[in-house]
């Protein structure tokens, strides 16, 4: 017999029709920003972990002596490296491995072009070792002229700074989206209050408290935000999945493989809920503020 | 100044004035007291200020000056969050019904109980019973826009009395109903008054005033100019 528990007139204001779409768009954008944050987080983590505690020795190839001469230079370098205190291991990379590393920039079939590709020795340091890189550089320069040491620090710092900045920007974008969602709900609620003024007055005169009326607006805002949020989440999920599949199919190793981490998936799934919470708080605040000006 | 006997006043107006926005005052120097359990007619020509006086009584408007006290609470000094408690003790039959068109008849009448937090079963039982009593038992699920003015009037009256108000304010409650329904509504008001409800009924209809012999508050040009206390047989 009692058809409804909501006293407000349904669909009297156009903003309630648009609110789910706007919230949906914001959740979609927030989902993409959050995904970008996750990818950057994983990239930073992998680069940091992979490069910390290691150095790379770059040995110039012998132009005249051929592969045998180059191999001899590598052996000479290895003998210096392995006798250096603090070095755990040293592994020379085969030419095809080096070619694979620079494949994203120079393309495939690099070896058939007969280019003088430098050879690399991947050196793993003992944990917390205080290796004297300057001394090692001098020793290598003496034993194998034209050898360089790359401890990745400068490059890594630059890349990490860029990645961290990008991550902060992505988080800032998510926060901006949250603020924009709140502002949207506020304007929609204000319109709703203006349109439903006669209903509100009647409820007031019958004895409704501000909280009773605010709950009605909150309920409506939460319902619309949830619908929009779920739509936005679905679209963001499809987009991220598509990008992930595309990235996975990429040949080469420019980007490390990205995992779907449970905290990220949980964060993504919480976006519609976060939208609903923002809508609820904003609607309540807006209504209570509006009603406080009435008798 | 019109003073009714008794110190315990349910409604007390002292030199009250009222205006809408920056307009001139529509009510001036209104002073009267209503005792609990009293029944008054409020009459006067159209535009005299009857509805404005009622608006002050059902706490829809603040006086521009003077003091309004309802249930021994001065409206000007009562905290805003206390006003809903006072309003819940006042039943109002608005002249233009003020029903919510998107709610069913049942939901409209149930509104005061629901707002007051009554149990669902209680609401359902009381509302259906009252609507049946006012002859709308067949229209429980109907929406106001499908009802005649007379039916809307009865829904508005049912909503006003559903929570047994201490003060019942009715603005032309018989204006849209036939004579038989009008008599029925007035009998309901009489019954409510007998069990302690204070009633103020605004009407143009002199026949009603003469038939029921209750004190009259007459308002003219914004001033409470005549008190005709029928029970004491004097003007």
Three-state SS at A30? helix
Instruction: Tell me what the mean pLDDT of segment A133-140 comes to.
Output: 86
pLDDT at site A110: 63
More confident residue, A123 or A295: A123
Q: Give residues with Cβ within 8 angstroms of B208, minimum separation 6.
A: B41, B174, B182, B186, B201
DSSP β-ladder status, B90-93 and B167-171 = parallel
- Judge: A7–B111 Cβ closer than 8 Å, yes or no: yes
How far is B42 from chain A, CA to nearest CA, in Å?
Answer: 20
Tell me, rounded to whole angstroms, the distance of Cα A14 from its chain centroid.
36
One digit per residue, pLDDT tens: chain B, 235 residues? 444 444 578 999 999 999 998 899 999 999 999 999 999 999 998 888 999 999 999 999 999 999 999 999 999 999 999 999 999 999 999 988 899 999 999 999 999 999 998 898 889 889 999 999 888 888 899 999 999 888 898 899 999 999 899 999 999 888 777 888 888 889 889 999 999 999 999 998 888 888 888 999 999 988 987 565 544 443 3
- Edge-first strand listing for the sheet containing A147-150: A87-92, A119-125, A54-59, A147-150
Q: Are B143 and B100 in contact (CB under 8 A)?
A: no
SS3 content of chain A, % helix, strand, coil (to 5): 70, 10, 25
- What the block records as the tokens of A159 is 């890349």
Q: Which residue of A has its CA nearest to B78?
A: A295
Q: Give residues with Cβ within 8 angstroms of A202, minimum separation 6.
A: B98, B100
Three-state SS at A275? helix
* Residue A3 confidence class, pLDDT cut points 50, 70, 90: very low
- Judge: B141–A10 Cβ closer than 8 Å, yes or no: no
Three-state SS at A200? helix
**Which ipTM score applies to this complex?**
0.87
Within 13 Å of residue A50, how many CA atoms lie on the same side as its CB? 11
Three-state SS at B50? helix
Distances (CA, A) of A199 to A6, A126, A257, B127, B151: 11, 75, 57, 20, 20
* Residues A101-113 pLDDT 10s: 777 777 776 666 6
- What the block records as the tokens of B106 is 């049942």
What pTM was computed for the model?
0.75
Q: Which of B87, B101, B102 is opposite residue A206, by nearest beta carbon?
A: B87
- Judge: B124–A1 Cβ closer than 8 Å, yes or no: yes
How far is B91 from chain A, CA to nearest CA, in Å?
Answer: 8
**Residue A75 backbone zone (phi > 0: left; psi -120 to 50: alpha; other: beta):** alpha
Q: Are B30 and B217 in contact (CB under 8 A)?
A: no
**Distance (Å, rounded) from C-alpha A205 to C-alpha A119?**
86
Domain parsing of chain B, residue ranges: 97-164
Q: Which chain B residues contact residue A208 at CB under 8 A?
A: 84, 115
Q: Which chain A residues contact residue B60 at CB under 8 A?
A: 201, 205, 295
Which long-range CB contacts under 8 A does A2-7 form with residues at least 24 apart?
A2/B106, A2/B107, A2/B110, A2/B120, A2/B123, A2/B124, A3/B103, A3/B104, A3/B106, A3/B107, A3/B141, A4/B103, A4/B107, A6/A216, A6/A219, A6/A220, A7/A199, A7/A203, A7/A216, A7/B100, A7/B103, A7/B107, A7/B111
- Judge: A209–B84 Cβ closer than 8 Å, yes or no: yes
How far is A221 from chain B, CA to nearest CA, in Å?
Answer: 19
* Residues A201-247 pLDDT 10s: 999 999 999 999 999 999 999 999 999 999 999 999 999 888 888 87
- What the block records as the tokens of B217 is 């508050």
Q: Are B71 and B89 in contact (CB under 8 A)?
A: yes
**Distance (Å, rounded) from C-alpha B154 to C-alpha B142?**
13
Three-state SS at A183? helix
**Distance (Å, rounded) from C-alpha B88 to C-alpha B166?**
9
* Residues A66-80 pLDDT 10s: 777 888 888 988 999
**Distance (Å, rounded) from C-alpha A192 to C-alpha A209?**
18
* Residues A159-213 pLDDT 10s: 778 888 888 898 899 899 999 999 999 999 999 999 999 999 999 999 999 999 9
Domains annotated for chain A, with CATH where assigned, are: 2-49+166-294 (no CATH), 61-146 (3.30.70)
Phi, psi dihedrals of residue B92, rounded to the nearest 5°: -125, 130
**Distance (Å, rounded) from C-alpha A167 to C-alpha A38?**
8
Q: Are A246 and A239 in contact (CB under 8 A)?
A: no
Q: Which of B92, B128, B141 is opposite residue A205, by nearest beta carbon?
A: B92
What is the count of residue pairs from A and B with beta carbons less than 8 Å apart? 67
Q: How far apart are the first and last CA of chain B?
A: 14
């Amino acid at each position: 017999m009692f058809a409804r528990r909501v006293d407000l007139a349904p669909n009297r204001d156009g903003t309630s029709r648009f609110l789910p779409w706007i919230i949906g768009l914001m959740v979609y954008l927030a989902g993409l920003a959050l995904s970008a944050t996750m990818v950057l987080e994983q990239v930073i983590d992998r680069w940091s972990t992979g490069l910390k505690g290691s150095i790379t020795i770059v040995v110039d190839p012998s132009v005249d002596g051929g592969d045998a001469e180059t191999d001899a230079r590598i052996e000479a370098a290895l003998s210096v490296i392995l006798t250096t205190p603090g070095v755990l291991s040293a592994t020379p990379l085969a030419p095809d491995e080096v070619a694979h590393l620079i494949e994203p920039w120079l393309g495939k079939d690099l070896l058939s072009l007969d280019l003088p590709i430098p050879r690399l020795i991947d050196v793993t340091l003992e944990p917390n070792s205080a290796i004297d890189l300057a001394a090692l550089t001098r020793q290598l320069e003496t034993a194998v002229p034209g050898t360089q040491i790359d401890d990745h620090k400068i490059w890594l710092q630059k890349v990490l700074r860029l990645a961290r900045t990008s991550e902060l920007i992505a988080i800032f974008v998510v926060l901006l989206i949250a603020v924009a969602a709140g502002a949207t709900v506020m304007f929609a609620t204000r319109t709703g209050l203006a349109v439903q003024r006669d209903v509100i007055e009647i409820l007031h005169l019958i004895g409704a408290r501000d909280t009773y009326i605010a709950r009605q607006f909150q309920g409506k805002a939460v319902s619309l935000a949830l619908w929009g949020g779920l739509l936005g989440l679905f679209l963001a999920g499809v987009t991220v999945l598509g990008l992930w599949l595309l990235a996975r199919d990429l040949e080469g190793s420019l980007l490390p493989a990205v995992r779907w981490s449970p905290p990220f998936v949980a964060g993504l799934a919480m976006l519609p809920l976060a939208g609903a919470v923002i809508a609820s708080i904003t609607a309540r605040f807006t209504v209570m503020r509006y009603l406080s000006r009435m008798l | 100044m019109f003073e009714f006997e008794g110190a315990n006043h349910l409604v007390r107006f002292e030199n009250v004035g009222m205006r809408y926005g920056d307009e001139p005052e529509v009510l001036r120097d209104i002073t009267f007291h209503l005792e609990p359990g009293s029944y008054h007619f409020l009459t006067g020509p159209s535009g005299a200020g009857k509805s404005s006086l009622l608006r002050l009584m059902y706490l829809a408007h603040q006086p521009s000056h003077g003091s309004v006290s309802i249930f021994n609470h001065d409206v000007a000094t009562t905290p805003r969050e206390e006003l809903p408690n006072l309003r819940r003790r006042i039943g109002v039959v608005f002249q233009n019904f003020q029903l919510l068109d998107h709610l069913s008849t049942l939901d409209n009448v149930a509104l005061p109980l629901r707002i007051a937090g009554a149990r669902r079963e209680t609401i359902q039982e009381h509302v259906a019973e009252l609507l049946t009593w006012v002859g709308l038992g067949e229209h429980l699920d109907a929406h106001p826009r499908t009802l005649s003015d007379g039916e809307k009037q009865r829904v508005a009256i049912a909503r006003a009395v559903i929570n047994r108000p201490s003060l019942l304010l009715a603005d032309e409650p018989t204006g849209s109903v036939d004579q038989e329904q009008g008599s029925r509504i007035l009998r309901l008001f009489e019954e409510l008054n007998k069990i302690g409800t204070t009633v103020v009924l605004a009407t143009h209809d002199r026949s009603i005033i003469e038939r029921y012999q209750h004190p009259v508050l007459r308002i003219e040009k914004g001033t409470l100019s005549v008190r005709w206390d029928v029970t004491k047989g004097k003007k």
